[in-house]
Structures are given as structure tokens and as C-alpha cells.
A and B are shown apart, each in its own frame.
Chain A
Amino acid sequence: MTRVAERGWQCAQPAASADRNHPGRPRGTTLNSIPATYNRAHHAFAVFTACAALVVITAGALVTSNDAGLSVPDWPTSFGYLVKVPHFVGGVRYEWSHRMLAGTLGMLTLTIAIWTLLVERRRWMRWLAIGALCTFVTQATLGGMTVLFFQPPWLSTAHATVAQTFFCIAVAIALFTGRKFVDRSQEDRPQGQPPRVDFDQRHPSLFTLTLLSIFVLYVQLILGGMFRHHGMSWWPHVANAVIVSFVLAWTSVRALSVYSKIDAVRQPAVVMLSLLITQLCLGFTAFLTRVAWGRSSVQPELPMVMATVAHVAVGALLLATTVVLAIQVWRNVPVALEERVPQAQGDASAA
């Protein structure tokens, strides 16, 4: 027997007041069950690490777009050295810079992981920091394997996909260490009170939509990676772009139409919709410059490089924004619990 459990909150309860275990609070407050203190320097460093991750992704896109992935044939050394600057011409500029930036990001990741382990009281945050470090090590290994195995498309695509996963984790750490996340009393409340919102009774729920958005974006990332690394044709990526556009538009419109009162939901939804439009334009430009016009080009040309690099960077931002939206929806949007109760108990309650 299934019944809708409305314990804990009612319709039009304050946004920050609903949790299945803590009546009057949203479910996402379980993320804050252990009190945390805001550490400005820690948060600033987390933001810097996330920005550095985006820079490394952009540098990686430059490598692929310039077909320079194997211009430095050895790994983990570069022309036999770890840090010696080589003759800085041609594809070496992109590949060597990408390696050095990635090495710097590795140091940043190690630092933020250790820092988090030292200052964080939230156990899940400590695990997240360890997860970030493990993801970085995986990503570096994949990068090395792409060089040593001559860039098989599936491996290069895995490298591209894990890169964006790392970026999302870095953004999540930056979000979780932020003042607004650590201390709810610091959230923007113009009238001094949290906004009153309906709990999410629609099917699918907004949270489900955000998860679906993340899923279709990952599929799109894999298809785009396979196309860029010559593992498949362009059309599956273009075809899936239609699905991505539909799902993301649906998600952002739902968020904006129903939960626009919640700043933490409205802001990423607006950014997501803007990035989606930008990304579609960049994708179209990349298609024109690379597939339609650049078919007979003998080398990567500036327009196709710029369009594809921007397409990759905005794609990473879009995925990270969707992850942020999912986190904020989980944290701020109250839902109606649907719980399955034993038959006998159901009968007893009916009686």
C-alpha cells in the first residue's frame, strides 16, 4: 500500500522548513546535520581550484582542437624532463602548457583535499575532498594513457569526461564551503523571512529533472568526445543535442516558473538556460567551421579552434551549473514523501 506522507511540512511552507527527519526543514538540510563553520580562505581556495580546473579543461580543448595531443610523445616526462621548457613551437605549446597547468591543478587539488580534511567538521565533505583527489589521479592517469596508447577514441573520451566530472566536484566543493551554504542565516532574505513555496508534487519532480539533465549532458559529453576524437560521426552528437535542449529547457522553465522565489534555485536555473542558448549557438558555429566548411582544410584553422574550444568550455560550465542546480533543488525545494508501508499497518491505519 502506498500513501502520501505529508509529515514534516505542508504546502506553502517556508522553503527552508521541510525535512523528513526534522519537521519544518527541507530534506537537503541533512547535508548540514553537523554544524560547519565558514572559513573564508578555505572557500576562496576552493573557488580558485574550480576556476583552475576550467582553465585546464580549456587548455585540453586547445590541445584536441589543434590536433596536438601527441606532439609530446612521452609521459609522464615531456621530452625526457618533468618541467624543462621545450622548444615552444607548434603543437608543443598546447600540449606542454596543458600538462603544466594540469600539474599545477594537481597541487591545488592536493592542497584543498588536505585543507578540507583539517578544517571540515562535515564527514561527507572530507570524503568529497578525498573523492576530488582520487578523481584527479584517475584523470591524470587517463591523460598519460592517451599519450602512451596513441589516443584511442574511447580513452580520449574518458579523459574528457572525467575532466568535467572533476570540474563538477571542484565546483561542488566551492559551493559547499560557501558562506550561504555553511550558514543558512546568511542567505538572501529581502523581507527577513524565507520565501513561502509549494512543495514539489509534480511528476517528474524538479529534482528528478535535474538528475535527468545531468544524465543527458553526460551522454552528450561522451558523444561529443567520440566525435572530436574521430571515434564516430557527428550526427549522434547533433541528434542528442535536441534531447539535451528539451530536457534542460524543461528543467529550467520548471525551476523558474515554480521556484523563482528561491534565489538558490532561480540563479542557477537562469544561468543554465543562458548557457544552454550560448552552447547551442557555439555548437552550430563549431559544426559550420569544422564539419561544413573545414572539411578540406589541411590544418586546424583559427575559427574552428575558437568555436570548438568555447563549445567545450561552455559545455563544462553548463554541466557544472546543472549539478549546482540539482544540489540547490535537493537542499531547498520541499517534496511530498511517498512512502511504502506494510499492508497490515496500512489496514490498521485505515481501520
Chain B
Amino acid sequence: MNKKAFRMTSLSALAVCAFLLTLACNKSNTEQSSNNMSQTAATTPAAAPIDPATVATVNGTVKFDGVAPKPVKIDMSQDPACKGTNEAEAVVVTDGDLANVFVYVKEGLGTRTFDVPTTPVVLDQSGCKYHPHVLGVMAGQTVQIKNDDMTTHNIHPTPKDNREWNESQPPSSPAIEKNFAREEIMLPVKCNQHPWMKMYINVVKSPFYAVTDKAGKYEIKGLPPGDYTIAFVQEKLGEQDQKVTVGPKDTKTVDQSFKAAAD
């Protein structure tokens, strides 16, 4: 190979390497720009106070379309203190009903603000699993984290918009109390000591949210009459939205179904 050809080959190789390296930066830039866009979203005018006599209810069932995935087994053998049910809870389907779907009012509340509840939301670690697997909480509301296991856990939320933290919690230690300042859906929480332990906290600005139970059912009470977008979010299957209009004292049924995610 002559000198010129080598220089060309070397330059090409360097260019390819540099291109591959720049890809590392692009991903985080994309995430940042999407966060900025959501922060600058237009707000609607202030709404009238909620009249308790006219509030409506939205309820329904979330279904899973198709053949339900087989429960994935967890190997807890690396810690003898872990004696929980050894099945993952990523997609829990019982007779076609989908559990652990977070349902919340995504749009339609305008600039209404809501008092943050003073009662904490409890997240329990028992059998080396999180209970519940999907949790809803208002921004600023206290999350009380307990450890009922005879082993040490560490609680490590990995948020995009909130502050990240990581604390260990030995057996029989006092509950850890934390809160999340900003709205964030499906904020992952994990335990690095037991890698199968994962759950999701959903931080919202309003009290209008619910999590589907084993029968796939949910209920959101106390909604003022109006037009809303209801979002259904599942950790693996993504988000689906539905528009709904509720009148005074209405009870509307809004069902939703998810299809298996394409591999």
C-alpha cells in the first residue's frame, strides 16, 4: 500500500470512529430537547373551583389483546433471605385483564392546582419485591419506604426530571421518607443488591389517577365536568390515550386494551 492510499484509509477509519463516538452524545441531547419541549407546553386559562356536588367518576377495565406472555421466573438464590413469589411483574395478565397499568388524567385540568395530601404513600419491600409494583403519587407528597425483609435493600430511583438518589436500608431500620418535586410518569426504581427488584413511581400534579388491579379495573373519582384525555401507561407496552367528556355527576366507563409489544 502506498503512502497516499494509507493516508486515505487512515482518514476514513478515523472519520468512522469519530462518527461512532459522536453517537454517544446524541442520545442524551435528544432526551434533553424533548424535556424542554414538554416544559414549554402551552397552558390553558384558570378554571373554576371544583364543586363537590357535580363531580364525576371515570372507571373501566384494561384488557390485554392476544396471548398473554408467560410469567418470567426470578432466580432469588443469591440471597437466602429472599423468599418472595419468584415471578416478574412486568406484564401481569389474568384471564385477559391487565394489572399494573397507571391511568391518569393527562389533559383537561387546565391550570387547576391541588392540595398535596399529607398522608404518605407507602412503598413496601417484602419478599425481595416491591409492593405495589406500580405506584401513583402527587408531586411533593411523601413516599414512605419500608423494608420488611431480613436483608438489606437499596432504593435507587433513576428519574429523568427529578433528583436521583440511592440509599441502603438494612433490616428493621426506620422507614425512608422521600418526595418527588416534578411530574414524571413511569419513574423507575430499582434495588442494585437484588437486580430483579424493579418498580415504577408515577408522579402527577393532580389526584386523578389510579392503578389497575389484578382484574384490570381502575376508578378515578372526583373529576369536575369537562373534556379530558385519559392516559393508560404500561411499563412494557407503552402509553395509550383516550378522550372522554364527563358531565355533572356522570359515571363514565372507559375501557382500554393493549396488544403485545412487537419484538
- The chain A residues found within 8 Å of chain B, CB to CB, are 66-73, 79, 86-87, 89-93, 95, 150, 153-154, 202-204, 212, 215-216, 219, 222-223, 226, 231-233, 236, 239-240, 243, 247, 295-301
Q: Taking A223-B20, A232-B24 as contacts, is the C-beta distance between A89 and B79 under 8 angstroms?
A: yes
- Complex CA–CA separation, A274 to B198 (angstroms): 41
Interface residues of B in 183-222 (CB under 8 A from A): 190, 192-196, 198
- The chain B residues found within 8 Å of chain A, CB to CB, are 1-3, 6, 10, 13, 16-17, 20-21, 23-24, 27-28, 72, 74-75, 78-81, 88, 90, 151-152, 154, 156, 158, 164, 166-168, 190, 192-196, 198, 263
A-B contact count (CB 8 A): 111
Q: Is the beta-carbon distance between B167 and A73 smaller than 8 angstroms?
A: yes
Chain A residues, CB < 8 A from B1: 202-204
Shortest C-beta distance, B51 to chain A (Å), equals: 45
- Partner of B192 from A71, A89, A154 at Cβ < 8 Å: A71
Q: Is the beta-carbon distance between B168 and A203 smaller than 8 angstroms?
A: no
- Complex CA–CA separation, A17 to B33 (angstroms): 61
Q: Is the beta-carbon distance between B17 and A219 smaller than 8 angstroms?
A: yes
Q: Is the beta-carbon distance between B193 and A91 smaller than 8 angstroms?
A: yes
Q: Taking A69-B192, A91-B192, A204-B1 as contacts, is the C-beta distance between A226 and B24 under 8 angstroms?
A: yes
- Complex CA–CA separation, A71 to B194 (angstroms): 8
Chain B residues, CB < 8 A from A92: 152, 193
- Complex CA–CA separation, A296 to B75 (angstroms): 14
**Selected A-B contacts with CB under 8 Å, 21 pairs:** A68-B192, A70-B166, A70-B192, A71-B154, A73-B154, A73-B168, A79-B168, A89-B81, A91-B192, A150-B156, A150-B166, A204-B6, A219-B17, A219-B20, A233-B27, A236-B21, A239-B16, A239-B20, A298-B196, A299-B195, A301-B75
- Complex CA–CA separation, A253 to B90 (angstroms): 50
Q: Is the beta-carbon distance between A298 and B90 smaller than 8 angstroms?
A: yes
Q: Is the beta-carbon distance between B27 and A232 smaller than 8 angstroms?
A: yes
Looking across the interface, which residue of chain B has its beta carbon closest to that of A90? Answer: B193
- Partner of B195 from A68, A86, A296 at Cβ < 8 Å: A68
Shortest C-beta distance, B108 to chain A (Å), equals: 35
- Complex CA–CA separation, A87 to B263 (angstroms): 39
Looking across the interface, which residue of chain B has its beta carbon closest to that of A152? Answer: B28
Q: Taking A92-B152, A216-B17 as contacts, is the C-beta distance between A296 and B193 under 8 angstroms?
A: no
Chain A residues, CB < 8 A from B72: 296-298
Shortest C-beta distance, B126 to chain A (Å), equals: 16
Chain A residues, CB < 8 A from B6: 203-204
13 more A-B residue pairs beyond the given contacts A86-B152, A95-B192, A236-B20, with a C-beta to C-beta distance below 8 A: A73-B156, A87-B152, A89-B78, A89-B81, A90-B193, A92-B152, A92-B193, A153-B24, A203-B6, A223-B20, A231-B28, A232-B24, A298-B74
- Complex CA–CA separation, A79 to B151 (angstroms): 14
Chain A residues, CB < 8 A from B78: 89-90, 93
Q: Is the beta-carbon distance between A90 and B79 smaller than 8 angstroms?
A: yes
Q: Is the beta-carbon distance between A150 and B74 smaller than 8 angstroms?
A: no
- Complex CA–CA separation, A299 to B23 (angstroms): 27
Q: Is the beta-carbon distance between A70 and B156 smaller than 8 angstroms?
A: yes
- Partner of A223 from B21, B192, B196 at Cβ < 8 Å: B21
